[in-house]
């Protein structure tokens, strides 16, 4: 039996590389601005970036640390991509991570059941709780026209302090620190994500995240929901006349987004902390970096994967810079800030062009 290998031409190669175009442009822009800042500080950018690269990917230990840090960023980025692609500009990933992580930890600790039931129930319970929490903002927008951006942002704070209340009053671990740290007890060892190597931080959570990337890509590109959500993102008025139920898409998109963001929090409970620790998901900024990754990649799941790993590498590599050079750790935040600036400028330009085109159409239609 002979197998024919189909040769790809130049255009086909460019098509497959398209998801990487925007991440490369945005990150290159940030690196140039960072280099200018280093030159002003009388540091050699090539040397500094060399240490950053080495600190992010230069050994098995550094690479595993970067991939472990990228895991929740990937999942949060996928959640943001689902919502923003369908014109639901929610920024509540952090609150959904917190609620999902907390619910998963409580079920894993207190459910009186065999370990495999604990494992499945806690993960399902955590992600459904995060999805349900996201639906609150969808309901507020549907019934009261409350801005999704504002409501989801406020829900971040509400989720954080509601969970804190329950930990302090009902689920506080008093065994190891006498209750000084606001955290739950640890989940059982039998259901934690196993590490690939005991000396490294990387767990199977990263490979689960990669599998979720493939599933989200299929959902976006090969299903009816994917087509309808894309159309809702392009033109809401067209969808109303075309028979697409925009309200249904909004609820479904925000629920799926909440599920994915909550899974990011669950992955931290199962693979990093082995418990819910108050403030840990806030200080890690995974939800916000994930949103950056989604915007950089134009909501493409493959682009989210690549962008998340690079952004995680900037964070872990920033620690190496502060150890081996006189450049402070904050250079990584400067780079991320430049990426955010590039994204924001791109979104504003796109929005202005869209408004200008719609005004032109209205003028022509009125003539």
DSSP 256-311: HHHHHHHHHHHHHIIIIISS-BTTHHHHT-HHHHHHHHHHHTTT-HHHHHHHHHHH
Quick one: tokens of 344?
């924001």
CB neighbour burial string for 113-135, b if at least 16 within 10 angstroms, e if fewer: eeeeebbeebbebbbbbbbbbbe
Q: 21-339 has which fold?
A: ABC transporter involved in vitamin B12 uptake, BtuC (1.10.3470)
Residue 199 pLDDT greater than 60, yes or no: yes
Average per-residue pLDDT in the chain? 86
Residue 5 pLDDT greater than 60, yes or no: no
pLDDT at 1 (0 to 100): 46
Q: Can you tell me the distance from the alpha carbon of 104 to that of 98, in angstroms, rounded to the nearest whole number? A: 10
Which of the pair, 236 or 86, is modelled with greater confidence? 86
Quick one: tokens of 86?
């369908």
Instruction: Annotate 76-118 with three-state secondary structure.
Output: HHHHHHHHHHCCCCCCCHHHHHHHHHHHHHHHHHHCCCCHHHH
Q: Can you tell me the distance from the alpha carbon of 181 to that of 175, in angstroms, rounded to the nearest whole number? A: 11
Q: Can you tell me the distance from the alpha carbon of 221 to that of 215, in angstroms, rounded to the nearest whole number? A: 10
pLDDT at 157 (0 to 100): 95
- Residue 169 vs residues 166, 179, 275: alpha-carbon distances, Å: 5, 11, 17
pLDDT at 282 (0 to 100): 87
SS3 153: helix
The domain segmentation of the chain, as residue ranges, is 21-339
Quick one: tokens of 166?
């329950």
């Amino acid at each position: 039996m002979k197998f024919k290998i189909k040769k790809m031409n130049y255009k086909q190669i460019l098509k497959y590389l398209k998801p990487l175009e925007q991440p490369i442009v945005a990150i290159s822009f940030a690196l140039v601005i960072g280099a200018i800042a280093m030159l002003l500080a009388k540091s050699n950018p090539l040397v500094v970036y060399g240490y950053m690269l080495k600190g992010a990917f230069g050994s098995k230990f550094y690479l595993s640390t970067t991939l472990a840090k990228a895991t929740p960023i990937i999942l949060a980025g996928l959640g943001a991509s689902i919502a923003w692609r369908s014109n639901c500009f929610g920024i509540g990933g952090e609150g959904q991570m917190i609620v999902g992580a907390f619910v998963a930890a409580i079920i894993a600790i207190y459910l009186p059941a065999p370990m495999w039931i604990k494992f499945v129930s806690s993960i399902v319970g955590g992600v459904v709780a995060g999805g349900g929490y996201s639906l609150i903002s969808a309901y507020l927008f549907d019934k009261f026209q409350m801005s999704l951006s504002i409501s989801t942002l406020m829900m971040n704070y509400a989720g954080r302090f509601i969970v804190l209340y329950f930990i302090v009053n009902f689920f506080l671990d008093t065994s190891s620190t006498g209750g000084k740290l606001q955290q739950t007890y640890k989940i059982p060892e039998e259901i934690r994500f196993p590490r690939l190597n005991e000396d490294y931080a990387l767990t199977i959570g990263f490979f689960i995240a990669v599998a979720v990337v493939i599933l989200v890509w299929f959902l976006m590109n090969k299903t009816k929901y994917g087509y309808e959500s894309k159309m809702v993102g392009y033109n809401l008025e067209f969808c109303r006349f075309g028979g697409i139920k925009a309200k249904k898409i909004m609820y479904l998109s925000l629920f799926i987004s909440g599920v994915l963001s909550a899974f990011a929090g669950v992955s931290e409970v199962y693979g990093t902390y082995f418990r819910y620790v108050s403030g840990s998901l806030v200080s890690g900024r995974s939800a916000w970096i994930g949103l950056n990754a989604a915007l950089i990649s134009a909501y493409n799941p493959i682009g989210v994967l690549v962008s998340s790993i690079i952004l995680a590498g900037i964070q872990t590599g920033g620690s190496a810079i502060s150890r081996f050079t006189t450049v402070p750790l904050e250079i990584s935040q400067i780079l991320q800030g430049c990426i955010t600036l590039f994204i924001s400028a791109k979104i504003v330009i796109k929005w202005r062009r869209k408004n200008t085109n719609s005004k032109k159409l209205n003028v022509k239609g009125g003539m």
